[in-house]
A and B are shown apart, each in its own frame.
Chain A
Amino acid sequence: MLKFLFNGLLRDKSRSLLPVIIVTVGVMITVFLHAYLTGVLTDSIEVSAKLTTGHVKVTTYGYEQNSSQQPNEFAMDDVEQLVEELNRDYPDIEWAERILFGGLLDAPDSTGATRAQGNVSGAGVRLIGSDAEIERMDLQTKLFSGRFPEQPGEILMSNDLFVRMKLAPGDVVTLISSSMYGDMAMYNFTVCGTLHFGVAALDKGMIIADIADIRRALYMEGAAGEVLGFFPEYYDDELGLQLQTEFNSARLDKEDAYSLVLTPMSKAEGIDFLISYSNYAGLVVILIFVFAMSIVLWNAGLLGGLRRYGEFGLRLAIGETKHEAYASLVGEAVLIGLIGSVIGTAFGLLLSYLMQHYGLDASSMIKDSTLMMPTVFRARITPETYFIGFIPGVLSTVIGAMLAGIGIYKRQTAHLFKELEA
């Protein structure tokens, strides 16, 4: 039967060529779009993870409850020991301590009086003695001028703020912020370099210094606001949620603001939507293409049905049942869907591979973006990419054929010979 249908399709090109082309194009776009969306969304999630949230984040419960305020009064003590424990319990995850803070940067004039001030949001990360955070946060590509801190007391700041405050490399600035105890803390830094992030929120007033300096500045010796955990590759929500359950059942006590809590990235404020959207992006693409292609293939099926009106009449007249005729039409559709899906997936994968390998440099388009996005858009081929196109490819041809084939059931056997004579 399969061979019969296949031969039929091969011999009657007008029955198969247009639907196969439609399915191929549709599947190719589906596969490419899925890989592209997966790539851009995954990279956006990874950029956010590396810069701010980590794949998972360990904080105190009090800090987590007020996380938007970066409340360092709820910072964790004895962080070195905590990181040791985390490395022991979760050896596959890389852990990094960070301190986030807000404050004011004050530049003095020659007499020591305030010459310029700017609001800043800052991060204390390990910059001296290890390049891990520089690589993770991709700071090398963001370094606009100068160099990374090499000595204690050196600071990197956003180039926009640097220009606005009319600073020069090597200038001393005073950070005014809140200590871990809630009082005002002041600390002098020397500007050693400037950064350009391409994200408006960060370029407005970001400063980054070595975590040891920030600890001294904010009286946080041995403490940190957050310990971020990074999975070996991309964020895995299932693993994140599993870690959350495991860690929190052992450490979290909601009555104690200083008990520890692990938050996976999908539960982090502002990122949860992106991850949910990313999870459903494939489904959205498939639904759109199943719908659009079904309409096109329905129309193609109707045209084909009209053309094959006589053929079906004859087949019914010589004794083939309506069910058999309808089933053969649907069977042909399955074959067309499969053939189109294979070709479309091959082309889609080729395009996706090129986009994954070379990427699209969008830095000029998103230079003042308010979102943390990658500057180079890349596709990402995942195991799903290999079969995702088959769902709209086969489903739409079958739905199209089923809709178009309904006409078979409306034929009256009694009138068939009259129709054929005519």
Chain B
Amino acid sequence: MKRLLSWVVLVPLTILSTAQQFPTGKSLIEKVDKNMSANTRISLSRMEITTSRGNRTLEAKTWTEGDEKSFTEYLAPAREKGTKMLKTDEQLWIFSPSTDRVIQISGHMLRQSVMGSDLSYEDMMNDTPLLEQYAATVDAVEIRDGRNCWVVTLTAVKPDVGYYMQKMWIDQERYIPLQIEMYSKSGKLLKKIEMTDVKRIQGRWFPMTMVYRDMLKKGGGTRMTFLELQLDAALPDGIFTKSSLR
């Protein structure tokens, strides 16, 4: 009887004390934001897309301000060269040099893939801070890429979010996510992002390679590598205007 009593009392206490060692989901996400968010960012990136039809490699230069504004110019291959994309608060515009047209991407077109990659325009457009869309809880400690990670589950608190649930594996020391999984409301895994090649850039930890996988596609995923990255750099005047697209 004594043995049983000790189990009844001790096991919940142990679980409670373990849970108390976990940081709150909110504090973790805030730390990740603080580490990764910069006021401005200029990057040169390479996107390697592996589809069932073959591989494609694109190069692009991107200017970013906060989470809301970004301007991307595609540099290669020749077919995409000169294509520009402008994302402002709630709108996304694309300039295609072959048609000499600036078109706003909206409605169901937002669900299309960006340049055939595993990313959709909708993914690009989602700039609402995570904590405004999700409730975060820390569930466990797991090892990813040989590093201790907090496993954080984000559950939507708003009805109109792109993914109902996300799971993040956050590096306990560097406060960067090493893996993100995005799920539908039914629990189906829709997308997966793996971050590797973590480097210290201007005092911040940053994953230089991200592999996106659209789990509904049969392709081999999209590897995005930052070739150059400048944080908090000065941006050209007027870059986030429609006139800069042409």
Chain B, residue nearest A181 (CB): B116
Asked if A178 contacts B52 (CB within 8 A), the reply is: no
CB within 8 Å of A: which residues of B? 49, 51-54, 56, 79, 94, 96, 98-105, 109, 112-117, 218
Asked if B116 contacts A183 (CB within 8 A), the reply is: yes
Other than the given A74-B52, A184-B112, A187-B99, 17 more pairs (CB < 8 A) read A62-B52, A73-B52, A106-B101, A112-B100, A112-B101, A113-B102, A174-B99, A174-B103, A176-B109, A178-B113, A181-B56, A182-B113, A183-B113, A183-B116, A184-B109, A187-B98, A258-B52
Give the docked Cα–Cα distance between A179 and B102 (Å).
18
Asked if A182 contacts B99 (CB within 8 A), the reply is: no
Taking a contact as CB atoms closer than 8 A, the residue among B53, B101, B104, B112 that contacts A178 in the complex is B112
Greatest chain A CB density within 10 A among B51, B54, B113, B116 is at B116
In the complex, the 3 A-B pairs of residues with the closest C-beta atoms, listed nearest first: A183-B116, A182-B116, A186-B96
Asked if B112 contacts A219 (CB within 8 A), the reply is: no
State whether A104 and B99 are in contact (beta carbons under 8 Å apart), knowing that A62-B52, A257-B52 are contacts in the complex.
Answer: no
Asked if B51 contacts A73 (CB within 8 A), the reply is: yes
Give the docked Cα–Cα distance between A373 and B105 (Å).
36
CB within 8 Å of B: which residues of A? 62, 73-74, 104, 106, 108, 112-114, 174, 176, 178-184, 186-188, 219, 257-258
Give the docked Cα–Cα distance between A186 and B96 (Å).
7
Output the least CB separation between B68 and chain A (Å).
22
Asked if A181 contacts B112 (CB within 8 A), the reply is: no
Chain A residues within an 8 Å CB radius of B54: 181
Give the docked Cα–Cα distance between A62 and B52 (Å).
10
State whether A73 and B103 are in contact (beta carbons under 8 Å apart), knowing that A183-B116, A186-B98 are contacts in the complex.
Answer: no
Q: Enumerate 20 A-B pairs (CB-CB under 8 Å) in ascending A order.
A: A73-B52, A73-B53, A112-B100, A112-B102, A114-B104, A178-B112, A180-B53, A181-B53, A181-B116, A182-B113, A182-B116, A183-B117, A184-B94, A184-B109, A184-B113, A184-B114, A186-B101, A219-B79, A257-B52, A257-B218
Asked if A104 contacts B109 (CB within 8 A), the reply is: yes
Chain A residues within an 8 Å CB radius of B116: 179, 181-183
Chain B residues within an 8 Å CB radius of A186: 94, 96, 98-99, 101, 103
Give the docked Cα–Cα distance between A106 and B94 (Å).
13
Greatest chain B CB density within 10 A among A73, A114, A183, A219 is at A183
Chain B, residue nearest A188 (CB): B99
Chain A residues within an 8 Å CB radius of B79: 219
Give the docked Cα–Cα distance between A315 and B151 (Å).
102
Taking a contact as CB atoms closer than 8 A, the residue among A108, A180, A181, A183 that contacts B101 in the complex is A108
Give the docked Cα–Cα distance between A181 and B56 (Å).
9
Output the least CB separation between A220 and chain B (Å).
11
Chain B residues within an 8 Å CB radius of A178: 112-113
Chain B residues within an 8 Å CB radius of A181: 49, 51, 53-54, 56, 116
Chain B residues within an 8 Å CB radius of A74: 52
Chain A residues within an 8 Å CB radius of B53: 73, 180-181
Output the least CB separation between A68 and chain B (Å).
16
Chain A residues within an 8 Å CB radius of B99: 174, 186-188
Chain A, residue nearest B56 (CB): A181
State whether A106 and B103 are in contact (beta carbons under 8 Å apart), knowing that A182-B51, A184-B94, A186-B98 are contacts in the complex.
Answer: yes
Chain A residues within an 8 Å CB radius of B113: 178, 182-184
Taking a contact as CB atoms closer than 8 A, the residue among B52, B102, B114 that contacts A183 in the complex is B114
Chain A residues within an 8 Å CB radius of B49: 181
Chain B, residue nearest A72 (CB): B53
Chain A, residue nearest B96 (CB): A186
Chain B residues within an 8 Å CB radius of A114: 103-104
Chain A residues within an 8 Å CB radius of B112: 178, 184
Give the docked Cα–Cα distance between A182 and B120 (Å).
11
Output the least CB separation between A104 and chain B (Å).
6
Output the least CB separation between A266 and chain B (Å).
29
Give the docked Cα–Cα distance between A316 and B112 (Å).
88
Give the docked Cα–Cα distance between A114 and B104 (Å).
8
Output the least CB separation between B174 and chain A (Å).
34
Greatest chain A CB density within 10 A among B49, B51, B53, B115 is at B53
Asked if B52 contacts A188 (CB within 8 A), the reply is: no
Give the docked Cα–Cα distance between A176 and B112 (Å).
11
Output the least CB separation between A358 and chain B (Å).
47
Chain A residues within an 8 Å CB radius of B100: 112
Give the docked Cα–Cα distance between A249 and B176 (Å).
53
Chain A residues within an 8 Å CB radius of B104: 114
Give the docked Cα–Cα distance between A74 and B79 (Å).
21
Give the docked Cα–Cα distance between A395 and B54 (Å).
65
Chain B residues within an 8 Å CB radius of A179: 116
Asked if B103 contacts A183 (CB within 8 A), the reply is: no
